[in-house]
């Protein structure tokens, strides 16, 4: 394995040309569920794929290095990754989470709270008094999602990590919207980073997967053991595909971000658009923090369209290149209506509190030609 190289080199080349059996350049895919013993009571490095697998381990090593963590655990989905970080919570323990998080995260936390497995408080991280009040309750975990899904709000990871640690809590950052190419939360003080690798890391909308990266080797060991105990470890084929996606992570994200900036500028100047949420815009309230803690502004943005639900319907029916679908971070451009799609599992009250309106649309900007994408948006906005 490569060590101590630039992240672009780790992404492109970790594990390349290291096959000891036949000298394969691309690391082999080990689908086998089980591995031979060397003899009686003499297991080799791997014995059973739920517990460990060479293809999955190479993916874990690659992401751990990209995130500057001590190690990583590859699991079956981003949701499973968040769930795995919750194993340290006991009844009565508290987790602080953002009120505008991904709705699946909201559903997971509220469902487990309803079973009295732990307590959760959802707060607006931009509200310093609310954060102070929540930390005064001595939470065990603080979950940050920055930029948040779908409103692209920015949280100061370094500041919140310091405050959380002073209160005795460990910090988890959901880095799904940026990928380690654009943000490395462990370097800013986080204890855990989670990803839905389904998104930018795999990048091709053909694998559901997740990862937890931990800063502390003890946490890596504990989470590795729990993932095996609960059986949530990721499949070798999915790991192989995700590693293949990571090879082009930096090239994809760089290009997609450039086009997203052009899309944000175009939408900001359009009369049918009421507001644009993109941290790269100097008018975005989180712009300065994003600029300081990120290596770029990413390829996700959302906007409010004038004309309510009717306009939303006409817009999504008129686009031809942007595809109406959930998910994000792939090579193709997608449009989603959070209220009826990604955030439909949130209660209307929770959506309202988070500021997710009926006229909000979310864009994931892909690798298509910039002029084609802007033309597609212009035509669809004419139709509203």
Tell me, yes or no, if 174 is annotated catalytic. Answer: yes
Tell me, yes or no, if 102 is annotated catalytic. Answer: yes
Q: Minimum Å distance from CB 328 to ligand PLP? A: 6
**3-state SS assignment for residue 313:** helix
Using the minimum distance from each CB to ligand PLP, give the nearer residue, 160 or 381: 160
Q: Are 48 and 35 in contact (CB under 8 A)?
A: yes
CA angle 26, 243, 105 (to 5 degrees): 170
**3-state SS assignment for residue 212:** strand
In this structure, the strands spanning 334-336 and 360-364 are antiparallel
Q: Minimum Å distance from CB 274 to ligand PLP? A: 24
Structure tokens at 268: 């900001």
> Which positions lie near ligand PLP, rule CB under 6 A?
77-79, 102, 104-105, 145, 149, 174, 176-177, 196, 198, 208, 210
Q: Are 144 and 174 in contact (CB under 8 A)?
A: yes
Q: Are 324 and 316 in contact (CB under 8 A)?
A: yes
Q: Which of 61, 174, 191, 376 is catalytic?
A: 174
Using the minimum distance from each CB to ligand PLP, give the nearer residue, 178 or 321: 178
Q: Which of 30, 57, 100, 102 is catalytic?
A: 102
End-to-end CA distance of the chain: 53
Q: Which of 153, 199, 252, 351 is catalytic?
A: 199
- How far, in Å, CA of 142 to CA of 122, rounded? 10
Task: State which H helix or E strand residue 1 sits in.
Answer: none
Q: Minimum Å distance from CB 79 to ligand PLP? A: 3
Tell me, yes or no, if 112 is annotated catalytic. Answer: no
Residue number of the CB atom closest to ligand PLP = 78
Q: Long-range contacts of range 341-345, CB-CB < 8 Å, 24 or more positions apart? A: 342/102, 342/103, 342/149, 342/150, 343/102, 343/103, 343/150, 344/103, 345/103, 345/104, 345/106, 345/107
Q: Are 43 and 193 in contact (CB under 8 A)?
A: no
Using the minimum distance from each CB to ligand PLP, give the nearer residue, 62 or 176: 176
Using the minimum distance from each CB to ligand PLP, give the nearer residue, 27 or 234: 234
Using the minimum distance from each CB to ligand PLP, give the nearer residue, 277 or 381: 277
Using the minimum distance from each CB to ligand PLP, give the nearer residue, 167 or 201: 201
> Among 288, 293, 287, 285, which residue's Cα sits nearest to residue 355?
285
Q: Minimum Å distance from CB 152 to ligand PLP? A: 11
Q: Which of 18, 46, 50, 93 is catalytic?
A: 50
Q: Minimum Å distance from CB 372 to ligand PLP? A: 26
Tell me, yes or no, if 50 is annotated catalytic. Answer: yes
Q: Minimum Å distance from CB 194 to ligand PLP? A: 7
Residues identified as active-site: 50, 102, 174, 199
């Amino acid at each position: 394995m490569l060590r101590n190289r630039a992240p672009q080199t780790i992404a492109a080349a970790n594990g390349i040309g290291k096959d000891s059996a036949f000298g394969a350049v691309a690391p082999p895919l080990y689908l086998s569920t089980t591995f031979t013993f060397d003899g009686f009571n003499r297991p080799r490095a791997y014995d059973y794929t739920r517990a460990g697998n060479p293809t999955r381990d190479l993916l874990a090593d690659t992401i751990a290095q990209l995130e500057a963590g001590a190690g990583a655990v590859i699991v079956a989905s981003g949701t499973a990754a968040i769930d795995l970080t919750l194993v340290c919570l006991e009844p009565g323990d508290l987790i602080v989470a953002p009120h505008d998080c991904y709705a699946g995260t909201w559903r997971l936390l509220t469902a487990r709270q309803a079973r009295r497995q732990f307590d959760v408080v959802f707060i607006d991280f931009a509200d310093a008094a609310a954060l102070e009040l929540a930390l005064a309750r001595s939470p065990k975990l603080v979950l940050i999602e920055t930029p948040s899904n779908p409103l692209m709000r920015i949280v100061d990871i370094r500041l919140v990590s310091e405050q959380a640690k002073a209160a005795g809590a460990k910090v988890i950052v959901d880095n799904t919207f940026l990928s380690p190419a654009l943000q490395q939360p462990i370097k800013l003080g986080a204890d855990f980073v989670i990803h839905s690798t389904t998104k930018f890391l795999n990048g091709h909308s053909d694998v559901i997967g997740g990862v937890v990266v931990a800063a502390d080797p003890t946490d890596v060991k504990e989470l590795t053991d729990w993932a095996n105990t609960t059986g949530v470890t990721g499949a070798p084929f999915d790991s192989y595909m995700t590693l293949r996606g990571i090879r082009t992570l930096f090239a994809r994200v760089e290009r997609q971000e450039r086009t997203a900036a052009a899309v944000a500028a175009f939408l900001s100047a359009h009369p049918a658009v009421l507001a644009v949420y993109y941290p790269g815009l100097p008018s975005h309230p989180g712009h300065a923090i994003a600029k300081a803690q990120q290596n770029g502004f990413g390829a996700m943005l959302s906007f409010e369209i004038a004309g309510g639900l009717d306009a939303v319907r006409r817009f999504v029916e008129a686009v031809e290149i942007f595809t109406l679908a959930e998910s994000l971070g792939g090579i193709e451009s997608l449009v989603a209506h959070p209220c009826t799609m990604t955030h439909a599992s949130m209660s209307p009250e929770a959506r309202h509190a988070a500021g997710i309106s009926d006229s909000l649309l979310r864009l994931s900007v892909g690798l298509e030609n910039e002029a084609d994408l802007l033309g597609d948006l212009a035509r669809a906005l004419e139709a509203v």
